[in-house]
C-alpha cells in the first residue's frame, strides 16, 4: 500500500483458491428470482428495479471485477480499496445515497479447532444490497432460505431489513464462537487441575489473544448500529430501528461474555502459576523430608564408625541392636513430628 496513489486497487490478505462467484437474489412480496451470474454485467439490470436486490460477491481478490461493480453501482474508489483490503476494522460510512459497512464474520474452521475470520463489506442502497465476502461459504444460508420460502417478515420489507438480517446473522455467529471459547476454557481449566504444563500457559495466552481479536470485531458493531439507528437517513426505516436495537443488545451480551472469559483467563494464569508452584513445593518438601530424616541417622552411624580405641558402647554385646532400634525410634519420631506439623 505504501507509496501507492490512494484508490489504487490492491488485494491485501490471504488469496483464496478458485475464482470469484457472484449470485443475485431479487425479490418482492410476490416473487423471488435467484441465480448465479457468470459476468458482472449480468447483475446491472437489477440496479434500478423497484424490487429488493441482493448481490453477493464471494472473493475480493480480483481487482477488475471489484472495479467494474464499483463503476456500475457508483461506489467511491476509496471504498473499493477498503473492500479489497481484508485487514479493515469494522466501520460504517454514510455517503448520503448509500451506506458502507465493514464487518468481520467469524466461524470455526473445518476441524473445529481454530477460528477463521472473513471480512464482509455491505453496500446498502435504497433498492439493493451488495455484499462482498472473501470466500465461498457463509452464515447467510438461513436468510436465503427465508427469502425463498417467504417466511417471516423479510419478503415484505426493504433492503434495510435485509441488511439488518445480514448483520444479525453475523452477530449470531459470534454466539457460536463464544460457546466454542467457553468449551476451550473448560478444557484448559480441567488441564489446570490435572496436569498443568507450559503448553497450558501457551493455550491460555492463545485464547486471550483470540478473545482480543473477537472483541475488536464486536466492539465497533455497537457504533455501527448506533449510527444506523440515529442517522436520520432515509435508507433506514423507523420500523427497522427496533430490530437494530435487538442486534445492539446481542453485541452487548457478547461483549459481556468476552469480558467474563478474559477475567476467567486472567484468573487461570494465576491458578496456573500457583499450581506449578504448589507441585514444585510438594516435591521439594517430600525430598527434603527424606534427606532430613536420614542425615541425623547417618550422623549416628558415623559416630560408631569412629576408630577411637576406647568406645564403651562398641564392646556391648547388644550395642549394635540398641543403636539400630534407637535410629528406628528417631526416624519414627521425626515422621510423627513432620506429620503433625502437616509437612508431609
Which is closer to a second copy, CB of 41 or CB of 183? 183
Rounded CA separation 218/231 (Å): 20
Of residues 114, 35, 127, the one with CA closest to residue 73:
127
8 Å CB contact between 63 and 40: no
8 Å CB contact between 128 and 54: yes
Which is closer to a second copy, CB of 50 or CB of 317? 317
Polymer length of the chain: 344
Shortest Å distance, C-beta 243 to a second copy: 6
Shortest Å distance, C-beta 77 to a second copy: 9
Contacts of the segment 148-151: beta carbons below 8 A, 24+ positions apart: 148/32, 148/34, 150/29, 150/32
Which is closer to a second copy, CB of 41 or CB of 74? 74
Which is closer to a second copy, CB of 40 or CB of 105? 105
Rounded CA separation 324/196 (Å): 43
Which is closer to a second copy, CB of 19 or CB of 333? 333
8 Å CB contact between 221 and 251: yes
Shortest Å distance, C-beta 8 to a second copy: 8
Which is closer to a second copy, CB of 49 or CB of 288? 288
b vs e for 243-262, b when ≥16 Cβ sit within 10 Å of the residue's Cβ? Answer: bbeebbebbeebbebbeebe
Q: How many CA atoms lie within 13 A of 300 on its CB side?
A: 17
Shortest Å distance, C-beta 60 to a second copy: 17
Shortest Å distance, C-beta 319 to a second copy: 5
Rounded CA separation 233/295 (Å): 86
Residues in a beta bridge with 26: 33, 53
Rounded CA separation 326/312 (Å): 17
Shortest Å distance, C-beta 46 to a second copy: 24
Shortest Å distance, C-beta 82 to a second copy: 8
Which is closer to a second copy, CB of 37 or CB of 115? 115
Amino acid at each position: 500500500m505504501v507509496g501507492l496513489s490512494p484508490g489504487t486497487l490492491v488485494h491485501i490478505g490471504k488469496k483464496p483458491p478458485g475464482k470469484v462467484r457472484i449470485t443475485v437474489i431479487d425479490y418482492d412480496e410476490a416473487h423471488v428470482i435467484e441465480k448465479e451470474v457468470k459476468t458482472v454485467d449480468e447483475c446491472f439490470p437489477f440496479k434500478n428495479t423497484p424490487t429488493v436486490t441482493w448481490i453477493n460477491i464471494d472473493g475480493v481478490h480480483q481487482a477488475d471485477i471489484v472495479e467494474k461493480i464499483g463503476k456500475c453501482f457508483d461506489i467511491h474508489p476509496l471504498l473499493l480499496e477498503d473492500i479489497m483490503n481484508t485487514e479493515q476494522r469494522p466501520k460504517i460510512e454514510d455517503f448520503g445515497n448509500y451506506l458502507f459497512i465493514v464487518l468481520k464474520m467469524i466461524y470455526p474452521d473445518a476441524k473445529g479447532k481454530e477460528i477463521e475470520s472473513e471480512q464482509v463489506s455491505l453496500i446498502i442502497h435504497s433498492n439493493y444490497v451488495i455484499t462482498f465476502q472473501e470466500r465461498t461459504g457463509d452464515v447467510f444460508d438461513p436468510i436465503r432460505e427465508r427469502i425463498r420460502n417467504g417466511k417471516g417478515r423479510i419478503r415484505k420489507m426493504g433492503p434495510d431489513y435485509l441488511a439488518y438480517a445480514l448483520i444479525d446473522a453475523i452477530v449470531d455467529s459470534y454466539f457460536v464462537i463464544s460457546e466454542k471459547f467457553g468449551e476451550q476454557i473448560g478444557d484448559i481449566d480441567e488441564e489446570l487441575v490435572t496436569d498443568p504444563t507450559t503448553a497450558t500457559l501457551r493455550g491460555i495466552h492463545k485464547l486471550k489473544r483470540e478473545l482480543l481479536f473477537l472483541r475488536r470485531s464486536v466492539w465497533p458493531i455497537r457504533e455501527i448500529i448506533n449510527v444506523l439507528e440515529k442517522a436520520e437517513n432515509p435508507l433506514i426505516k423507523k420500523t427497522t430501528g427496533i430490530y437494530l436495537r435487538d442486534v445492539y443488545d446481542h453485541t452487548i451480551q457478547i461483549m459481556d461474555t468476552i469480558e467474563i472469559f478474559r477475567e476467567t483467563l486472567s484468573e487461570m494464569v494465576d491458578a496456573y502459576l500457583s499450581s506449578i508452584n504448589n507441585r514444585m513445593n510438594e516435591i521439594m518438601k517430600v525430598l527434603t523430608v527424606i534427606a532430613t530424616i536420614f542425615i541425623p541417622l547417618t550422623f549416628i552411624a558415623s559416630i560408631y564408625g569412629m576408630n577411637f580405641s576406647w568406645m564403651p558402647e562398641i564392646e556391648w554385646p547388644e550395642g549394635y541392636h540398641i543403636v539400630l532400634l534407637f535410629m528406628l525410634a528417631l526416624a519414627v519420631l521425626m515422621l510423627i513430628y513432620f506429620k503433625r506439623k502437616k509437612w508431609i
